[in-house]
């Protein structure tokens, strides 16, 4: 058993590793991360996770639900630390796994992976408390500076892989979204638009009148009413062949733009902790940033880690004091320009664990259940399955600098896309399987140890 | 449990020397009241780190601390000449014979609470977290509070009432961010202190028994906290500004001060003694018993400290030591509730009053004055802990927030040193080398591309608008753009 494997075992037991091992680990991790670009390319299949915030036992639950490393290929979208009691153990375990299985573990930076934020929100205090000095905090912060800013998932399929649970009905080619619980049971399925012909969903009908639904941000999302769920009814829903030309009413949800044909790869998925920046109009501009620094207070790098989508037009000031708010129009133009089918991001607590917005052009994934021991939310992870048609890699070039126009040239000059163009536009969304899970059971959470109180009480 | 670290040397505590007089908040003279101009809508004066330093030497700060220590002292049990048992001052939920001023304030709180019935939480599956109906409640409160405050007292000028209204409305969290924290709690204390200064509670200058102060805490502050807790749970205010397990409490601070005073060592009922700094009242539960849910149940109706911890048990799941390690550590203190009380007051000064993100929203006027206090200025030679901990250029914030963390530097380019938590957080030594990289950015606004779609609309000016860049707060995003995204106890 190598030292690394031993460290992994110890951290899995929620026991911190000695300071010198942390130093060594961080050194190795940095050597690895320094080679990564600002935007890491990840091939599907991949399981995408949101904020962890030091909820170690829930992270273990996440691995139980999503599969262990290296069997499952993971992408964590940052905010490993702060607020929770076990930020140290959580982050070091993820880092160990990164070093041990570099190709099966992708870590990108969240706004909490910063010196300044961790001195405010707990990680610094935690390191002091657990090691008696700030050294470990310092080693970790040095690693933070090297974490990638985003990732592009290539080769995601627009059909779901077969469910892993025994005896489960296979997902038809027309299933766009499947929601499962922690026990591998399907909670609900959502078909692609084209398959719901004649559905009475209010959302679809109003969308047909020509006005985009912006208000709810729920189009095509299981969080909202935009699409007809086929809860426990996939046998009926999955029966009909997809209607090939039906792309759904404008703006009404994920469309069947793919035509439902087997093996038609979905567009790429951009993963970033917070969201978009007014300074970044294409993915290549992220690649040009100098990321190896503390998160700045403003600018593109800051925005990527801090921004939030919101029901507004264009850009708005963020009440967080960093980053921006951005509306559906921004996301749609960005996705179109970059040949993306989806943006996956974290950064905001969501009761249901995940929330798709803006006609499923962006999704928030949140992976800290019962946040702060009290929010009562469930957590989620997002699985994208692999497209095995072999078409995927050729169809996309957005992983590289100087890529082509993404094949969307027919819709007008880049950058001056009219809103009308967007109404009917929907890059084939990848099929998405969300697994939602609850907080880990209360047992086996270790023993309390009183520590010296703060100076105020001496 | 391990013993706490060796106690610092202290004065012989069992027999504190008498003191000549208790510091009390002065009641304003008619002359002071009639010098009209200084009253009016509350002024935001704290826009940057250095402003906090000024605040810590201001009359307002001195008065706030006087007010808190005055209230705190009133709750200390008194030894009795008649009986062997000391007289302590528990909460009395069923008491009816409150003094007239206190009774009226209790009615005011009931009316505020009653508005929740008119603003039931919305069933909106689409909301992300916080419940938008909280904004309806805020609107109703704003509409009616003027009339309600008018019923409290007569003869106050409009401008004075304007100030009281500002503090009262500031006591219930932020309706944009849907959050609540110690800054709002402070606003309510300022409201009560303002009433005191106006003589609302009577001209009590000569009274030594401190019955008035006791009634204010037990009869008004505690019910206020209960309404605030109900707001938090009814509208699922989000914990985004919280420091999680690394803060004292997600929302509250003063119940830990006043509750520990209720259990501290008794002082003489006949001569003035300072607030004890160690020891406990005979019969008080041990500090360690906060980890016993049953003991907390037993005491939460009579003691404010246990009341606050009871609320934590209500809303949090998991082992106490894990979700509230700071309170857990404090429960190991061996020198009694007096020690805890002293620590809480100290911590309040540093972690609430000394923290930019918390006090930046505090408004000033004629009741709480933004003026240098000569006495504090003289003492300022030896810098107090909180001045030292003041960020000079990068805020450490605890901020309020939307759905998440607030950028520490979000306010006026303060940069930061210590972490100031929302709920109060322990300061630790900050790293000295390799530490925080000083931000080089300018306040936002300059050099940032103009957001597409033009400038965001500016909403109505609000006391609680969030800061961004330079001093000119109030650039609150229009409409309800924050909507559900802001976290609750972000202390602001």
The DSSP secondary structure of A154-205, one letter per residue, reads: ESBBSSPPPPSSTTPPPPPTTEEEEEE-TTS-EEEEEE-GGGGTT---HHHH
pLDDT-derived band at B277, boundaries 50, 70, 90? very high
- Nearest Cα neighbor of B266 from B90, B70, B87 is B87
Identify all chain B residues contacting A26, using CB atoms and an 8 Å cutoff. none
Q: Which of B428, B429, B441 sits opposite A297 (nearest CB)?
A: B441
Min Cα distance A263 → chain B (Å) is 33
Residue B418 lies in a domain: no
Q: For B29-88, what is each residue's pLDDT tens digit?
A: 888 888 766 898 999 999 888 999 999 999 999 999 999 999 999 999 999 877 778 999
Chain B partners within 8 Å of A138 (Cβ): 431, 434
> Can you say whether residue A93 is alpha, beta or left, with left for phi > 0 and alpha for psi between -120 and 50 degrees?
alpha
Per-residue pLDDT tens for B410-450? Answer: 653 333 333 333 333 333 333 333 333 333 333 333 333 33
Going by pLDDT thresholds of 50, 70 and 90, the confidence category of residue A265 is low
CB contact under 8 A, B245 and A84: yes
For B121, the domain range is: 19-372
Q: Is the pLDDT of residue A170 over 80?
A: no
Q: Hey, are the CB atoms on A457 and B4 less than 8 Å from each other?
A: yes
The answer as to whether B252 is a domain residue is yes
| pLDDT the model gives residue B153 | 83
Q: Determine, yes or no, domain membership for B469.
A: no
User: Which of the residues B123, B347, B452, B469 would you substitute to probe the A interface, choosing the one with the greatest number of A C-beta atoms within 10 Å?
Assistant: B452
The answer to whether residue B424 sits within a structural domain is no
Which of A155-159, A430-434, B206-210 has the lowest average pLDDT? Answer: B206-210
What tens digit of pLDDT does each residue of A379-418 get?
999 999 998 765 544 433 344 444 334 444 334 343 344 4
Q: How many other CB atoms sit within 10 Å of the CB of residue B379? A: 11
Among chain B residues, the shortest Cα distance to A310 is held by: B481
Q: What is the pLDDT of residue B34?
A: 80
> What's residue A154's pLDDT?
95
CA–CA dist B315, A167 (Å, integer): 39
Q: Do A452 and B329 touch (CB under 8 A)?
A: yes
Contact A375 B239 (CB under 8 A): yes
Inspect the interface and report whether the beta carbons of B317 and A315 lie closer than 8 Å. no
Average pLDDT, chain B: 77
Give domain status of residue B470, yes or no: no
Q: What is the pLDDT of residue B202?
A: 86
What integer pLDDT is reported at residue B204 of this predicted model? 57
CB pair distance less than 8 Å for B246 and A450 = no
Query: Does the distance separating the beta carbons of A217 and B246 come in below 8 Å?
Result: no
Nearest Cα residue in chain B from A313? B453
Beta bridge partners of A178: A189, A433
Q: In terms of CA atoms, which chain A residue is nearest residue B250?
A: A372
Residues in chain A with CB shorter than 8 Å from the CB of B7 are 458
Q: Per the CB < 8 Å rule, is B343 touching A456?
A: yes
List C-alpha distances in Å: A43 to A37, A337, B135.
Answer: 15, 21, 44
Q: What count of other Cβ atoms lies within 10 Å of the Cβ of residue B438?
A: 12
Q: Do B477 and A117 touch (CB under 8 A)?
A: no
Chain A closest CA to B295's CA: distance in Å? Answer: 19
| Average of per-residue pLDDT across B313-342 | 94
Structure tokens, A240: 């009909």
The minimal CB distance from A279 to the residues B126, B449, B487 is found for B449
Task: Say yes or no: ipTM exceeds 0.85.
Answer: no
Asked, for residue B315, whether it belongs to a domain, the answer is yes
Residue of A nearest to B433 (CA): A138
Say how far apart CA B236 and CA A52 lie, in whole Å: 21
Residue among B444, B473, B480 with most chain A CBs within 10 A, to mutate: B444
Judging contacts by C-beta atoms under 8 Å, the chain B residues touching residue A136 are none
Quick check: B483 pLDDT over 80? no
**A interface mutation test: which of B130, B240, B407, B451 has the most A CBs within 10 A?**
B407
b/e code A353-387 from CB counts within 10 Å (16+ = b) = bbbbbbbbbbbbbbbbbbbbbbbebbbbbbbbbbb
Question: Does A32 score more than 70 pLDDT?
Answer: yes
Among A90, A145, A108, A91, smallest CA distance to A273 is for A108
Q: Is B217 part of any domain? A: yes
Size of interface A-B (CB pairs under 8 A): 295
Give the integer Cα–Cα distance in Å for B42 and B47: 14
Q: Who contacts B152 (Cβ-Cβ below 8 Å, separation ≥6)?
A: B104, B105, B108, B195, B200
Non-local (6+) Cβ contacts of B64 within 8 A are: B186, B189, B190, B193, B353, B368
Of B8, B451, B479, the CB nearest to A315: B451
Q: How many CB atoms lie within 10 A of CB B420?
A: 34
- CA distances (Å), A286 to each of A308, A326, A406, in order? 17, 17, 17
Nearest alpha carbon to residue B239 among A424, A375, A394, A51 = A375
- The residue from A53, A112, A336, A347 that is catalytic is A112
State how far the Cα of B331 lies from the Cα of A452, in Å rounded to an integer. Answer: 11
State how many domains chain B has. Answer: 1
Residue A406's closest CA among A428, A377, A374, A373? A428
Q: Is A273 known to be catalytic?
A: no
- Say yes or no for a CB contact (<8 Å) between A321 and B240: no
Is A425's pLDDT higher than 80? no
DSSP letters of A387-400? Answer: P-SS-HHHH--TTS
B22-33 pLDDT per residue, tens: 888 999 988 888
Instruction: Tell me whether residue B64 is in a domain.
Output: yes
pLDDT band at B125 (very low <50, low <70, confident <90, very high): low
- Tell me the chain B residues in contact with residue A119 when contact means C-beta distances shorter than 8 Å: 396, 416, 418-419, 430-431, 436
* Cβ pair A265, A390 in contact under 8 A: no
Nearest-10 Cα torsion for B348, B353, B356, B359? 120
Question: What percent of chain A shows pLDDT beyond 90?
Answer: 62
């Amino acid at each position: 058993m190598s030292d690394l494997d031993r460290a992994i075992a110890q951290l899995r037991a929620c026991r911190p590793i000695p300071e010198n091992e942390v130093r060594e680990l961080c050194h190795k991790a940095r050597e690895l991360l320094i080679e990564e670009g600002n935007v890491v390319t990840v091939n599907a299949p991949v399981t995408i996770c949101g904020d962890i915030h030091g909820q170690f036992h829930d992270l273990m639950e996440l691995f139980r639900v999503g599969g262990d490393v290296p069997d499952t290929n993971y992408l964590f979208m940052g905010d490993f630390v702060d607020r929770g009691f076990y930020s140290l153990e959580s982050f070091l375990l993820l880092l160990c796994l990164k070093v041990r299985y570099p190709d099966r573990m992708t870590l990108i930076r969240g706004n909490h992976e910063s010196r300044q934020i961790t001195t405010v929100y707990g990680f610094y205090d935690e390191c002091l408390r657990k090691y008696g000095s700030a050294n470990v905090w310092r080693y970790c912060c040095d690693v933070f500076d090297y974490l990638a800013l985003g990732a592009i998932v290539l080769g995601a399929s627009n059909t779901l892989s077969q469910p892993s649970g025994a005896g489960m009905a296979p997902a038809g080619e027309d299933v766009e979204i499947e929601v499962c619980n922690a026990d591998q049971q399907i909670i609900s399925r959502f078909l692609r638009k084209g398959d719901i012909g004649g559905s009475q969903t209010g959302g679809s009908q109003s969308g047909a009148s020509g006005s985009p639904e912006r208000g709810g941000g729920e189009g095509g999302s299981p969080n909202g009413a935009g699409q007809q769920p086929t809860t426990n009814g996939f046998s009926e829903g999955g029966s009909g062949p997809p209607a090939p030309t039906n792309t759904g009413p404008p703006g009404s949800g994920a469309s069947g733009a793919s035509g439902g044909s087997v093996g038609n790869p979905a567009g790429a998925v951009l993963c970033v902790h917070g969201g978009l920046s007014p300074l970044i109009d294409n993915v290549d501009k992220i690649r040009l940033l100098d990321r190896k620094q503390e998160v700045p207070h403003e600018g593109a790098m800051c925005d990527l880690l801090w921004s939030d989508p919101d029901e507004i037009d264009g850009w708005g000031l963020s009440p967080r004091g960093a980053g921006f708010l951005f509306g559906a129009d921004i996301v749609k133009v960005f996705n179109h320009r970059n040949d993306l089918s989806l943006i996956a991001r974290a950064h905001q607590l969501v009761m249901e664990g995940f929330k798709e917005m803006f006609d499923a052009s962006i999704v928030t994934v949140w992976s800290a259940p019962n946040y702060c021991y009290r929010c009562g939310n469930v957590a989620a992870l997002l699985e994208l399955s692999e497209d095995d048609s072999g078409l995927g890699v050729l169809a996309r070039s957005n992983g590289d600098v100087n890529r082509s126009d993404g094949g969307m040239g027919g819709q007008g000059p880049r950058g001056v896309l009219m809103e009308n163009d967007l109404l009917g536009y929907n890059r084939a969304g990848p099929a998405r399987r969300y697994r939602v899970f609850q907080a880990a059971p209360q047992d086996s959470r270790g023993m309390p140890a009183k520590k010296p109180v703060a100076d105020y009480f001496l | 449990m391990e013993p706490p670290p060796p106690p610092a040397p202290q004065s012989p505590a069992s027999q504190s020397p008498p003191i000549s007089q208790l510091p009390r908040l002065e009641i304003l003279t008619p002359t002071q009241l009639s010098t009209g101009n200084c009253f009016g809508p509350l002024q935001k004066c704290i826009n940057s780190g250095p402003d906090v330093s000024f605040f810590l030497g201001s009359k307002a700060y001195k008065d706030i601390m006087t007010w808190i220590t005055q209230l705190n002292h009133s709750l200390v049990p008194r030894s009795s000449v008649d009986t062997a048992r000391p007289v302590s001052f528990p909460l009395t939920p069923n008491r009816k014979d409150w003094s007239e001023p206190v009774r009226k304030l209790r009615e005011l709180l009931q009316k505020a609470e009653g508005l929740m019935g008119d603003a039931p939480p919305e069933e909106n599956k689409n909301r992300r977290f916080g419940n938008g109906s909280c904004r309806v409640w805020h609107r109703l409160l704003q509409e009616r509070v003027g009339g309600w405050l008018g019923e409290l007292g007569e003869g106050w000028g409009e401008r004075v009432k304007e100030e009281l209204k500002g503090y009262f409305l500031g006591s219930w969290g932020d309706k944009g961010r849907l959050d609540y924290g110690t800054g709002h709690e402070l606003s309510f204390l300022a409201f009560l202190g303002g009433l005191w200064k106006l003589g609302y509670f009577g001209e009590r200058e000569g009274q030594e028994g401190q019955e008035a102060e006791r009634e204010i805490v037990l009869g008004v502050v505690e019910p206020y906290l209960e309404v605030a807790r109900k707001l938090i749970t009814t509208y699922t205010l989000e914990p985004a500004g919280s420091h999680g397990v690394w803060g004292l409490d997600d929302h509250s601070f003063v119940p830990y001060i006043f509750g520990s005073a209720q259990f501290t060592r008794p002082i003489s009922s006949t001569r003035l003694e300072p607030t004890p700094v160690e020891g406990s009242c005979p019969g008080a539960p041990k500090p360690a018993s906060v980890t016993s849910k049953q003991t907390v149940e037993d005491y939460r109706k009579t003691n404010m400290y246990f009341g606050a911890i009871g609320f934590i048990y209500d809303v949090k799941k998991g082992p106490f030591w894990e979700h509230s390690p700071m309170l857990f550590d404090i429960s190991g203190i061996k020198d009694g509730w007096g020690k805890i009380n002293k620590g809480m007051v100290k911590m309040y000064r540093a972690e609430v009053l000394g923290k930019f993100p918390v006090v930046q929203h505090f408004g000033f006027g004629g009741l709480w004055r933004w003026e240098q206090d000569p006495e504090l200025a003289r003492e300022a030679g030896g810098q107090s802990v909180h001045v030292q901990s003041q960020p000079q250029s990068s805020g450490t914030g605890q901020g309020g927030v939307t759905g998440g963390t607030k950028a520490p530097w979000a306010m006026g380019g303060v940069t930061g040193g210590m972490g100031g938590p929302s709920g109060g957080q322990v300061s630790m030594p900050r790293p000295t080398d390799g530490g925080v990289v000083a931000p080089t950015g300018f306040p936002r606004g300059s050099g940032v591309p103009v957001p597409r779609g033009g400038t965001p609309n500016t909403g109505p000016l609000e006391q609680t608008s969030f800061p961004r860049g330079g001093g000119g707060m109030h650039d609150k995003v229009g409409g309800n753009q924050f909507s559900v995204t802001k976290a609750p106890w972000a202390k602001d």
